[in-house]
Amino acid sequence: MSLKIVQNFDGSFTLEPELQETLFELLTSVAFLNQICQQLRCKEVKFTELLFQPVPYSLTTTKGMPVEFEKYYKSDEYVIINVPPNFMFSAKIFKPSRLCAIYQKLSNE
């Protein structure tokens, strides 16, 4: 079995404004923000309103994300999470099937 390296993958997407609004409400809910803080052991996080579709490994996308988001991956001030599937379903977002959201850590314990 051999691996096939993807040369180019279009990870661009557009969300309808009402779907985006619903998703952002879920991603900024107090309960969800508290859950993130508990996992990170920090006091406060802020949703940056940056979303991206995970992309397959390629020679140019070695982190599984578009290159312009790698600066957040490398930073200790940010965290990248997978948007929970139930949030995607609640917001009626089916394409893309997966999204990642970027949060900024505002304070540590």
38-95 pLDDT per residue, tens: 999 999 999 999 999 998 877 777 788 888 999 999 999 999 999 999 999 999 999 8
Provide the domain count of the chain.
1
- 64 occurs within a structural domain: yes
pTM, rounded to two decimals: 0.84
Residue 4 pLDDT: 57
- 9 occurs within a structural domain: no
- 8 occurs within a structural domain: no
Top-confidence residue, 86 or 3? 86
Place of tokens 């991956």: 73
- 7 occurs within a structural domain: no
Residue 24 pLDDT: 97
Per the CB < 8 A criterion, the answer to whether 108 and 43 are in contact is: yes
Q: Which contacts of 19-24 are long-range, i.e. CB under 8 A and separated by 24 or more positions?
A: 19/91, 19/92, 19/93, 20/91, 22/90, 22/91, 22/92, 23/51, 23/83, 23/87, 23/88, 23/91, 23/93, 24/49
Q: Find the domain containing 81 and state its range.
A: 17-108
